[in-house]
């Protein structure tokens, strides 16, 4: 489990969350995530480049939701 911070440096990027929510981010925008399934999509006009920086910090203490300890899950 990690605490992730992502900052868009250039271009336009969509953040898709597992619940169907979509957020559009441009240069200077940032997102902080913890324990969320997500997908990034470059939607910059004219097939332009997008650049972002991400900082991933491990969570030292596991956390619980509805009495269940959340663990890392990877899906393709």
For 3-53, write each residue's pLDDT tens digit. 889 999 999 999 999 889 999 999 999 999 877 788 999 999 999 999 999
**SS3 of residue 47 by DSSP:** helix
Residue 74 falls inside a structural domain? no
Residue 45 falls inside a structural domain? yes
Residue 76 falls inside a structural domain? no
Alpha-carbon distances, residue 7 vs 29, 41, 50 (angstroms): 6, 14, 11
Is pTM beyond 0.75? Reply is no
Residue 75 falls inside a structural domain? no
Range of the domain at 61: 2-69
Q: For position 73, what pLDDT does the model report?
A: 63
CATH number of the domain within which 17 lies: 2.60.120.10
Nearest to 15 by CA among 39, 37, 31: 39
């Amino acid at each position: 489990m990690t605490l992730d911070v992502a900052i868009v440096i250039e271009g336009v990027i969509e953040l898709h969350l597992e619940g169907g929510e979509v957020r559009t981010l441009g240069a200077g925008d940032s997102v902080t995530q913890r324990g969320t399934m997500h997908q990034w999509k470059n939607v910059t006009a004219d097939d332009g480049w997008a650049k972002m920086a991400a900082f991933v910090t491990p969570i030292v203490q596991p956390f619980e939701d509805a009495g269940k300890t959340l663990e890392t899950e990877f899906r393709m």
